[in-house]
Structure 1
Amino acid sequence: MYYNNNTQIYLDGTFVKANESVTDLYGQTLHYGYGVFEGIRAYATENDTRVFKAKEHYDRLKNSAELINIPFKYNVQELVDATYKLLEKNNLTNAYVRPLVFCDPNMSLARPNKVSIMICAWEWGAYLGDKQLRLTVSFYCRPHPRSIKIEAKVCGHYVNSILATNEAKDKGYDEALLLDSDGYLAEGPGANFFFEKNGVLYTPQLGNILPGITRATVLELAEKLRIEVKQGLYKPEVLVSADSAFYCGTAAEVIGIESIDEKKFRKEWKDSLGLKLQEAYSEFVRKSEKTLSKIHA
């Protein structure tokens, strides 16, 4: 599904075949989830392949590593260049890119002495599909920000996401909606959350959620479309009178939500602010770098 006999990955400065690469079974990342990663999308545009906000993603990868004391010796621009080269070597245009910084063998809980970086890519459609989602509020909450670095994209954090996702699917829902440790709306297992009410968009404030790059892009697009957005702390009860809602993330892109715990939103998706932003986002990420340079010139 993710690779074949010809697939190449980037590993510590060189390109190697995916099926010939190995990792150490005593690695600290494998045993303790002590590693950081990113999810990045590449799009075919009218002129070229565009890796959407590549620098921002690698900057966040660097920041995630530094927040949890993992050495990060890599040059961000070199990683961006390597990503484009990786896509070219694998003949990929529309693709999902996964960089991973992982640690050397270490059975202690001390910081690692050495780390490695791997970048792989594969063809992948919208992670949550293209139909509106049926959500359930999860039993699981997001970790308290004093228990982990919530703003870092850390491998081990996603056990929480896996538990919430499987709980939702086992109950017959498409996905989960998680609250924070104080009972306020937080985010999905792998996406940020927005809801609409009376012509205004609302989204949980930073602090208890991952600061998503797609979330930041949605905020930029909303400003251009003159859509008012408020960020704050919101209890799930506010959703009873909400008009619509959506998730957004690199893997999911922008995807509408039909209902939460069987309660449907009042607006049809076709009439929602979410659809406007979904269309604007889809158009924006598929603009070539050359086109964007002309627009900003």
Structure 2
Amino acid sequence: MGDRWRDTAQWRIVDEISAWTGRDVAELILRTGEPGLRRTDSAQLAIFTMSLLALDYLTEHHSIGPIHACAGHSLGEYTALVAAGALTPETGAKLVAARGAAMRIATLRCPGTMAAILGAGSEVVEGFAAAARADGARVWVANVNGPRQVVVSGTAEGVDAVAQDARLARLKVVRIPVGGAFHTPLMRPAVPLLRRALAAAEFERTGVAVVANADAGLYTATRWRALAERQLTAPVRWTAVLATLSRLGCTRLVEVGPSRILAKAIGRGDHAPTVRYFGYPAEFEP
């Protein structure tokens, strides 16, 4: 994952994040394979590092103009806070490490999984999840990624129940290979550890708007501790986040990170903004 960054000036960030978090990040992004990256603590730190490498490269090469607003999907919210200047890279890295460790504890206590339901809106999928919960299952809507792309999260049995109803309704189900029920009440065991890390973190006031996953609102630095904690157990309302960016007048978006995911989803919507993806050196097209 990180090979293409080794000979760039940005590689210093890998050493810095290793020092800040006590993890061998070079090992993580160079030699840890997919099975190892299924551990949420390892995956989160690897993705955050790759995102900061891309962000720093764009900034150094003046490939993007002034940033008017930021948003990030789930873990990406921490990259967004760094991009906006609300968190320093060091504080962001320490929070991501704490978040990953906390969420790993939760997954060990209550393993779970996720699945994307394609072809129906959030109300339909919420209906499936509510019916499953009425039968004793533990499953919830975790991400509203688009008008016809909704992710559910819960125990394996709960997700299976929703998947069965979705298939009966002739909807496509795509399993997501994770070991936890992220963005659901099953993440509550992660809250105390992240809360302690957030209490020690300094959030800076910034003139760049950051849109929250939890409710698509714009918040000042003083509110982000509560919002980051809430995000652990609340769904990511991504369609609402994009609507907020649209109201702010954001017509050109740049996605950074190790894989092109959000740019594809954003590009499908009506009146979609122009989206550029950047994940590796010399890849960005202004």
Instruction: Give the structure-2-normalised TM-score.
Output: 0.29
Structure with the higher fraction of residues in strand conformation:
1
Decide which structure has greater helix share.
Answer: 2
* Bigger Rg, which one: 1
Q: TM-score, with normalisation over the residues of structure 1?
A: 0.29
